[in-house]
């Protein structure tokens, strides 16, 4: 962790306040910056977790001054005295991302802003957030390097960090190419590849749940767990991303990052410490233990689908091919379900079921740990198979929390048993009623602290692509072994083939109904 003052919140709650940082956001007039990044920084400032000498600079092509940019942000954040105070720390610059002159102006502007803030240049870090399409990464990083803006002292303090949004390539070859080009200018410790799912409280809590409690780790293995399911479901269609999504597809969009990252946290071995590389080393080992898919029997392990017209919450929804900007003959998948196995001692023989889809009945992301049934029932006439096995559900969104289902006696007759669910929601313990912190708050704060634990390392990205690229290649070149793209109506939980995928092992998806 970086040096800084410690701020205690509660008896065992430690938050580290960062040193001064200047945060430069490229694409500052875009949706992500206005809807997520600036509000996250505003909330960090209100919580006292943005150093008083830290400053924010928004960069975009759109000609605006500070006043105009602040007016734009009020449409997203609202208006308040606190916001006006925050705006004194927020500046705007516009220019052409490919023009070297813009970066010379930026360098001079940052020096001036930091001098006016009385920020010590010996400790003031700079963060460059690239909130834009990945096609512009190389241009901007090269220009930053040429202008000296990414140059660090050998000690690494003050730092120069660059945050990148996904996607990190579209296959193994492109990911390697992008990585090589970035490393011409940046060192790996300067690159922060962001996956906002890793900033969610429930995902972060996986480490604490597993490794700070003795009751879970002894049973977190093939001896006690029957199967594990991970679901990321969206009610929306492609919205304004038709051009990107139809060329990418659901497998690229969700599995290479969100889902495989959650899988690695659920299944990895115990790291030696909470240090970033210790945790990320174990995540990489886990990915390397995933059994490669057999191309000849791909359709037996992976199901893909595409939504047709349907209804969600009483509202009609068009089919995927009827969405604006989507070709009428498109075979792009909007749903993927897969069964995979991890070949190590801990998980040998345990199936992992992963699925994600658009136009599902509910927006939800969860991890379901299904434990094995008891081997024998002493509660005659109830058989072991009559009793609901224990189940642990980790809800990532929309209501972050966890639920544990156990068997318990119900009041009444001597033999009166049933499944009891103990349900916990993180929002219930927030005393000030402020709601759950946004994932970007955690991730931006960690970058200001120099902590890469929740960011993705280059070798992890490369190995994830090595697992998925053969699948994508098979889908694109060999329709016979790849299997069909199954239709499913909007507002359903995907094609029937996805249900058949789990039913072969007498397993059923946990489909939320309310």
Cα–Cα–Cα angle for 410, 411, 416, nearest 5°?
50
Q: Are 282 and 268 in contact (CB under 8 A)?
A: yes
Q: Return the bridge partners of 340, or none.
A: 352
Q: Return the bridge partners of 310, or none.
A: 317
Ramachandran quadrant class, 349 (left: phi over 0; alpha: psi -120 to 50; beta: rest): left
Helix (H) or strand (E) run with residue 118 in it = none
Rounded CA separation 366/360 (Å):
14
Rounded CA separation 247/323 (Å):
14
Rounded CA separation 390/419 (Å):
8
Rounded CA separation 157/24 (Å):
18
Cis peptide before 158 (omega within 30 of 0): yes
The residues near 145 (Cβ < 8 Å, ≥ 6 apart) are 151, 184, 185, 186
Cα dihedral angle (481, 488, 342, 421), rounded to 10 degrees?
-160
Under DSSP, is residue 97 helix (H, G, I), strand (E, B) or coil? Answer: coil
Burial code of 11-20, b = ≥16 C-beta within 10 A, e = fewer? eeeeebbbbb
Rounded CA separation 194/162 (Å):
10
Query: With 0-12 CB in 10 A as exposed, 13-18 as middle and 19+ as buried, what is 91?
Result: buried
Rounded to 5 degrees, φ, ψ at 55 are -135, 160
Nearest of 259, 246, 398, 240 to residue 334 by alpha carbon: 246
* Per-residue 3-state assignment (H helix, E strand, C coil) for 252-275: HHHHHHHHHHHHHHHHCCCCCCCC
Nearest of 428, 434, 425, 397 to residue 42 by alpha carbon: 434
Residues catalogued as catalytic: 258
The residues near 209 (Cβ < 8 Å, ≥ 6 apart) are 216, 394, 402
HSE, side-chain direction, 13 A CA sphere, residue 141: 26
HSE, side-chain direction, 13 A CA sphere, residue 486: 20
Rg of the chain over all Cα atoms, to the nearest angstrom: 24
| 343's tokens | 């070949």
Burial code of 303-323, b = ≥16 C-beta within 10 A, e = fewer? bbbbbbbbebeeeebbbbbeb
């Amino acid at each position: 962790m970086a040096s800084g003052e410690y701020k205690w919140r509660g008896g065992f709650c430690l938050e580290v306040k960062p040193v001064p940082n200047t945060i430069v956001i490229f694409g500052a007039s875009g949706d992500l910056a206005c809807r997520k990044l600036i509000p996250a920084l505003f909330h960090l400032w209100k919580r006292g977790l943005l150093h008083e000498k830290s400053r924010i600079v928004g960069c975009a092509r759109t000609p605006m001054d500070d006043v105009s940019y602040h007016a734009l942000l009020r449409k997203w954040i609202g208006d308040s005295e606190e916001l006006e105070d925050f705006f004194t720390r927020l500046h705007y610059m516009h220019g052409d991302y490919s023009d070297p002159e813009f970066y010379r102006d930026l360098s001079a502007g940052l020096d001036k802003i930091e001098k006016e803030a009385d920020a010590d240049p010996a400790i003031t870090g700079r963060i460059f957030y690239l909130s834009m399409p990945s096609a512009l990464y190389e241009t901007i990083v090269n220009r930053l390097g040429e202008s000296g803006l990414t140059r660090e002292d050998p000690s690494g303090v003050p730092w120069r960090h660059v945050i990148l949004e996904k996607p990190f390539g579209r296959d193994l070859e492109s990911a390697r190419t992008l990585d090589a080009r970035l490393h011409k200018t940046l060192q790996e410790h300067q690159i922060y590849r962001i996956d906002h799912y890793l900033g969610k409280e429930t995902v972060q809590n996986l480490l604490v749940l597993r490794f700070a409690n003795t009751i879970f780790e002894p049973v977190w293995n093939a001896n006690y767990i029957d199967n594990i399911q991970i679901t990321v479901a969206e009610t929306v269609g492609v919205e304004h991303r038709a051009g990107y999504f139809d060329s990418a597809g659901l497998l690229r969009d969700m599995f290479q990052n969100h889902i495989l990252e959650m899988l690695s946290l659920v299944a990895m071995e115990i790291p030696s410490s909470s240090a970033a590389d210790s945790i990320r080393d174990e995540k990489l080992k886990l990915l390397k233990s995933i059994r490669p898919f057999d191309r000849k029997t791909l359709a037996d392990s992976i199901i893909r689908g595409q939504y047709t017209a349907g209804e969600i919450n009483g509202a009609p929804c068009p089919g995927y091919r009827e969405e604006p900007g989507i070709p009428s003959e498109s075979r792009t998948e909007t749903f993927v379900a897969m069964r995979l196995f991890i070949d190590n001692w801990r998980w040998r023989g345990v199936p992992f079921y992963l699925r994600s889809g658009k136009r599902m009945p509910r927006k939800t992301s969860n991890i379901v740990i299904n434990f094995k049934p008891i081997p024998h029932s002493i509660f005659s006439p109830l058989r072991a198979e009559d009793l609901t096995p224990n189940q642990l559900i980790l809800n990532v969104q929309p209501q972050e929390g966890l639920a544990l289902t156990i068997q318990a006696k119900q009041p009444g007759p001597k033999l009166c048993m049933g499944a009891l669910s103990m349900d916990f929601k993180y929002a219930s313990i927030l005393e000030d009623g402020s709601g759950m912190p946004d994932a970007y708050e955690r991730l931006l704060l960690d970058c200001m602290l120099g902590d890469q634990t929740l960011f993705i390392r280059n070798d992890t990205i490369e190995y994830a692509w090595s697992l998925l690229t053969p699948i994508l290649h098979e889908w694109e070149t060999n329709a016979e072994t790849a299997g069909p793209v199954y239709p499913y109506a909007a507002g359903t939980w995907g094609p029937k083939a996805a249900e058949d995928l789990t039913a072969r092992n007498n397993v059923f998806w946990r489909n939320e109904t309310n």
